[in-house]
Amino acid sequence: MSYVGGKTGFPQGVVAPALRSASPSWCTVVVLLVCLQLHQMCFIQATICPSQGSSHAGQCLCAADIISCSGLDLEQVPGEMPISAVTLDLSHNRIDQLKGGAFEGLYRLETLRLAHNRLATIDMGAFQNTSGALLQHLDLSSNQLHALKPHYFQDLPGLEELLLFNNRIVQVESRALAGLGNLRKAYLSHNRLTHFPFFSIQEHSHPHLSMLDLSSNRLLKLPLEDISNLPTLVQRGLYLHNNSLECECSMYTLFRHWEQRGYASVSDFRQEHTCRVYGIQKGTVRFFQHARYFEKCNSTGMSEQLREQESSVSVKAGKALLLHCVTTLTSHSVTFLWVSPNQEYVAPPGNNGSLKMFTNGSLEIVAAREEDSGVYWCMALDQQQQRNETREVNVTVVLHHDSEPHESFNTGFTTLLGCVVSLVLVLMYLYLTPCRCPPCPKAPTSATATASLGNETGLGSAQSSILSPTPPATTEGPGRKICLPNIYSLLSH
């Protein structure tokens, strides 16, 4: 193959594309710019990715604001990470401890992945001097954490998603999640939890929490009162399947209540909801399929503990109605007070008998009257925390004459009963009246007119005997009754 002048680098007869529209000087400029860009990229990769603390740290991959140090057998967090990092991936390594200030200087960090390591300890201040409020996603799944302590996440107020599944967690301290006011999703499944501080999750402390996954743990009993006080948003996303729950009426009623309300945490995992009969592990049953075990449960009484109160309710006159003072305050020092529509203050045990109040804040209208209609409002007061909450319930008493038409039913029933009695009396007269008559004489065959006259007379007599209370006289003789055989023949005729 021959070349033109041996300088252009293109085969004979082929013109370089750049030379078609640009002079040699422009071609040189373009080539120089490309080389400078490649050199700059190589320089950045050489200066940003190497970090102190591990011989493998220099193998981290950097792409703009993403740093990936995954699968490098790192035993600690590399030092001197670039401050431009927004996403840092340290998963699939051998890191067993997060020391204080491990991520110092990462002021833009939003996502931190530490899954599939050997983490067992998080020191005080491990996340200090980082982005703090900017960090939204923290993945600590598939590690060896044994407990969640209050100082673990105290420097991450902006955290929205926390992944802790597939660890060895046996305890979650009451204030471990206290500082996470923006938390939306928390995954703690596949751990070894036997209990969880549900009372620490409140509407004022976690207003955005919509998913709390506690499935596949070792929970034995559910604190029904604490769970019923959880915000509705949390209850909708509370996953409790595949635990070691004992078969109790309170447990069964809780999940049935959620199923009726269409919570996805129950409807999507109906097969995985099991409980242990009498605490025996081998005696587990799927209680959504084998509900006969809970037939004797007092579901009405248990459902009252799951206190949810509609803003407007109705009750028939004379019936009882129970109103709940639903509140997020859980302290034992909380006191309750109700105010009736006529501005009457009600406190336990109630007023003169028409209203009865319980210590848990519920108010019972013993026998609803027309004057009991109106707006009831309750106030829950926590004197220790100096907090209070109020709720309003609009009660409508329905009178009987407005909704139950009894008159038409009574009239129809009376008419039907009268017809039945009349029919019975007629049949009794026909079949039970004593009548001993001699054999009826045959009509003479020669006198056709006489026979037809006798038949007409008998037909009229039969009709009159059915319609009149006294037997009519016949042509056979004065004061005699008509014979039963003649009645049968006339009725059949």
Q: What is the pLDDT of residues 246-303, one digit of tens each?
A: 888 888 888 988 988 889 999 999 999 999 886 555 568 888 877 777 776 754 444 4
Residue 112: pLDDT over 80: yes
d(CA 64, CA 46): 14
Cβ proximity of 341 and 372 under 8 Å: yes
214, 193 contact by CB (below 8 A): yes
Task: Give the C-alpha separation, 125 to 121, whole Å.
Answer: 12
Q: What is the pLDDT of residue 206?
A: 94
Q: Which helix (H) or strand (E) holds 398?
A: strand 387-398
Model confidence at 318, pLDDT cuts 50, 70, 90, reads confident
Q: What is the mean pLDDT of the chain?
A: 76
Q: Residue holding tokens 């220099």?
A: 58
**Local confidence band at 476 (pLDDT 50, 70, 90 cut-offs):** very low
| pLDDT surpassing 60 at residue 465 | no
Contact 465, 472 (CB under 8 A): yes
Amino acid identity, residue 98? Answer: L
**pLDDT score recorded for residue 203:** 85
pLDDT greater than 60 at residue 13:
no
Q: Is the pLDDT assigned to residue 223 strictly greater than 70?
A: yes
Confidence of residue 137 (pLDDT cuts 50, 70, 90): very high
Mean pLDDT (whole number) for 115-136:
92
Residue 427 pLDDT grade (very low, low, confident, very high; cuts 50, 70, 90): confident
CATH class of 312-403: mainly beta
pLDDT confidence of residue 261: 86
Q: Which of 378-402 are b and which e, b meaning 16 or more Cβ less than 10 Å from the residue's Cβ?
A: bbbbbeeeeeebebebebebbeeee
pTM: 0.56
Over 406-457, what HEC string results? CHHHHHHHHHHHHHHHHHHHHHHHHHHCCCCCCCCCCCCCCCHHHHHHHHHH
pLDDT digits (tens, 9 = 90+) for 33-67: 655 554 444 333 433 455 444 455 558 898 889 99
The pLDDT of 398-425, averaged and rounded, is 67
- What CA–CA distance (Å, rounded) separates 81 from 69? 11
Tally the residues of the chain.
493
Q: Work out the pLDDT band at 332, boundaries 50, 70, 90.
A: low
- Averaged over 414-434, what is the pLDDT? 76
Q: How far is Cα 420 from Cα 415, in angstroms, rounded to an integer?
A: 9
Element (H, E) at 193: none
Cβ proximity of 313 and 351 under 8 Å: no
Per-domain residue ranges of the chain: 1-28, 57-303, 312-403
Given the candidates 3.90.1170.50, 3.40.640.10, 3.80.10.10, 2.60.120.380, the CATH classification of the domain at 57-303 is: 3.80.10.10
Asked if 165 and 183 count as a contact pair (C-beta separation under 8 A), the reply is no
Residue 279's pLDDT is what? Answer: 56
Backbone torsions φ then ψ of 280, nearest 5 degrees: -90, 125
Q: Find the mean pLDDT for residues 457-478.
A: 44
- Specify the pLDDT at position 492: 44
Give the pLDDT band of residue 314 (cuts 50, 70, 90). confident
pLDDT of residue 70: 94
For 76, 106, 107, 134, 317, the CA distances from 127, given in Å and listed in that order, are: 15, 10, 11, 12, 62
pLDDT score for 149: 95
Contact residues for 52 (Cβ-Cβ < 8 A; gap 6+): 78, 79, 80
Region class of 5: left (phi > 0), else alpha (psi between -120 and 50), else beta: left
The proportion of the chain whose per-residue pLDDT surpasses 90, expressed as a percent, equals 34
